[in-house]
Amino acid sequence: MRDPESCDRRGCSRPVTTTLCEEALCLDHFCSRSYEMLNAMDRRNRLNAASHSPTADQIKIADECARKTLDICMSKMLLNNLERARLLDILLWCGDVVNSWGPKKPAGRPALQHGRNEQASLRRRISGGTSSSGTSSSGTSTSGTSGY
Q: State the angle between helix axes of 27-47 and 81-99 in degrees (0 to 180), rounded to the nearest 10.
A: 30
pLDDT score of 121: 46
CA distance 36 to 121: 51
Range in 8-17, 21-30, 114-123, 139-148 the model is least confident about: 114-123
Domain boundaries, the chain: 18-99
Tell me which of 121 and 14 has the higher pLDDT: 14
Range in 62-66, 115-119, 127-131, 134-138 the model is least confident about: 115-119
Q: What is the mean pLDDT of the chain?
A: 77
Q: What sign results for the dihedral spanned by CA atoms 76, 81, 85, 86?
A: negative
Percent of the chain topping pLDDT 90: 51
CA distance 44 to 38: 10
Task: List, for residues 56-109, the tens digit of each pLDDT value.
Answer: 899 999 999 999 999 999 999 999 999 999 999 999 999 998 887 765 554 444
- pTM for this entry: 0.65
CA distance 82 to 32: 13
pLDDT score of 54: 83
What confidence tier does 111 reach under pLDDT thresholds 50, 70, 90? very low
CA distance 109 to 107: 6
CA distance 91 to 38: 11
Spatial neighbors of 2 by CB under 8 A, at least 6 apart, are 8
Q: Which residues pair with 20 in a beta bridge?
A: 23
Give CA torsion, residues 39, 97, 14, 77, to 10 deg.
150
- Checking 28-34 for CB contacts under 8 A at 24+ apart, the result is 30/68, 30/72, 31/83, 31/86, 31/87, 31/90, 34/65, 34/69, 34/90, 34/94
